[in-house]
């Protein structure tokens, strides 16, 4: 009897796989509908770089999202929304956009060609001013609300307590969880008082008390990078991608223009460009035309 039950279960499972999904590894089954490992892998591969960085390789989280989506789609189908006119209209437009996107993707791939070193070097020489790394600083700070609190913090640091420890204990800025580290910044990124203090310091030096609209700071400069021109080797791959993108865009433009030129098109002006209502006054030119010279 046990063998019969197991055999019957396997038959049902195979039928479900045939009905709801392609054979293969199963990630989940939702009300009898299979979510395959291949579908899960496909969803993972389509994650944006930002989303991938946020979740890492958390396949369980993506599986849970797909399960919830499947439940909602099943409910939508149960309510008969597949036949809803608005849904049909949206599906039609989505299909058009998907076809269009895939076509242009293929054309871009067809337009891809090798970008030679000579072409990269020429681009670099013509655009050297664009390949400059600006002057940057890295600093930590302790931010407090009063000058008295700033003096106390200064006394603690001068007395030998680690700057990061004092920042964690006394700073009111969110950076205190990182020991006061605000990371890298360039001129114009932070408030002027903070940047002016950093410009006077050498790496490893701490400022005196600095007052700003935010409160009172103690600033420790941890790094200072002077502005410099990036070498060709540093930007070679970046230039290659820029040139490739330009080349592909030109290919797409030429392709679209070619199709438009050979297409038989008749635009019904009365529909495409309806006349303005009689109550609408023409918009005057922004600048009055100059009188013609005699």
Q: Is 137 in the same domain as 75?
A: no
pLDDT (0 to 100) of residue 217: 96
Give CA torsion, residues 70, 71, 77, 81, to 10 deg.
-90
C-alpha to C-alpha distance for 192 and 215, rounded to whole angstroms? 13
Q: Which residues contact 176 (CB under 8 A, 6 or more apart)?
A: 142, 167, 168, 170
| 15 domain-assigned | yes
| 20 domain-assigned | yes
Q: Is 75 in the same domain as 162?
A: no
| 260 domain-assigned | no
Q: Is 7 in the same domain as 71?
A: yes
**Which residue matches tokens 């400069």?**
221
| 259 domain-assigned | no
| 186 domain-assigned | yes
For 155, other C-beta atoms within 10 Å of its C-beta total 11
**Which residue matches tokens 């200072």?**
224
Give CA torsion, residues 93, 97, 103, 107, to 10 deg.
150
Q: Give how many domains the chain has, as a whole number.
A: 2
pLDDT (0 to 100) of residue 287: 45
Domain boundary pick from 229, 250, 278: 229
| 213 domain-assigned | yes
Q: What is the pTM of this model?
A: 0.54
Residue 210 lies in domain:
133-229
Domain boundary pick from 229, 247, 275: 229
| 26 domain-assigned | yes
Q: Which residues of the chain have pLDDT under 50?
A: 1-22, 285-294
Kindly give the interhelix angle for 163-170 and 147-158, rounded to the nearest 10 degrees: 150
**Which residue matches tokens 């004092």?**
166
pLDDT (0 to 100) of residue 276: 59
Domain boundary pick from 174, 197, 229: 229
Q: What are the tokens at 88?
A: 């049909």
C-alpha to C-alpha distance for 272 and 265, rounded to whole angstroms? 13
**Which residue matches tokens 């302790």?**
142
The strands making up 210-212's β-sheet, listed across from edge to edge, are: 181-186, 136-144, 215-225, 210-212
Say which CATH number the domain at 145 has: 3.10.50.40
pLDDT (0 to 100) of residue 50: 84
Spell 72-90 as b/e; 16+ CB within 10 A means b. Answer: eeeeeeeeeeeeeeeeeee
C-alpha to C-alpha distance for 102 and 94, rounded to whole angstroms? 12
**Which residue matches tokens 């958390």?**
58
C-alpha to C-alpha distance for 217 and 197, rounded to whole angstroms? 10
Q: What is the DSSP string of 258-284?
A: HHHHHS-----HHHHSPPPPTTPPPPP
pLDDT (0 to 100) of residue 55: 83
Q: Is 154 in the same domain as 219?
A: yes
């Amino acid at each position: 009897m046990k063998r019969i039950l197991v055999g019957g279960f396997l038959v049902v499972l195979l039928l479900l796989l045939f009905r709801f999904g392609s054979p293969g590894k199963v990630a989940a089954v939702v009300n009898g509908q299979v979510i395959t490992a291949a579908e899960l892998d496909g969803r993972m591969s389509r994650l944006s770089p930002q989303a991938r960085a946020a979740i890492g390789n958390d396949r369980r989280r993506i599986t849970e999202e797909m399960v919830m989506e499947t439940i909602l789609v099943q409910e939508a189908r149960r309510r008969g929304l597949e036949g809803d006119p608005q849904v049909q209209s949206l599906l039609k437009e989505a299909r058009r956009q998907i076809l269009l996107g895939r076509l242009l993707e293929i054309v871009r791939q067809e337009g891809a060609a090798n970008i030679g070193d000579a072409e990269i070097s020429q681009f670099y020489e013509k655009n050297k001013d664009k390949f400059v790394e600006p002057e940057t600083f890295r600093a930590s700070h302790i931010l407090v609300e009063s000058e008295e609190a700033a003096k106390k913090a200064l006394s603690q640091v001068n007395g030998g307590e680690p700057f990061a420890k004092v920042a964690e204990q006394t700073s009111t800025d969110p950076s205190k969880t990182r020991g006061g580290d605000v990371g890298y910044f360039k001129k114009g990124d932070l408030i002027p008082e903070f940047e002016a203090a950093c410009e006077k310091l050498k790496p490893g030096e701490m400022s005196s008390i600095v007052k700003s609209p935010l409160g009172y700071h103690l600033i420790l400069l941890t790094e200072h990078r002077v502005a410099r021109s990036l070498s060709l080797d540093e930007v070679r791959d970046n230039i290659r991608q820029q040139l490739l993108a330009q080349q592909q865009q030109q290919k797409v433009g030429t392709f679209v223009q070619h199709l438009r030129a050979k297409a038989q098109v008749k635009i019904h002006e009365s529909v495409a460009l309806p006349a303005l209502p009689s109550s609408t006054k023409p918009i005057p030119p922004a600048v009055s035309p100059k009188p013609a010279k005699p």
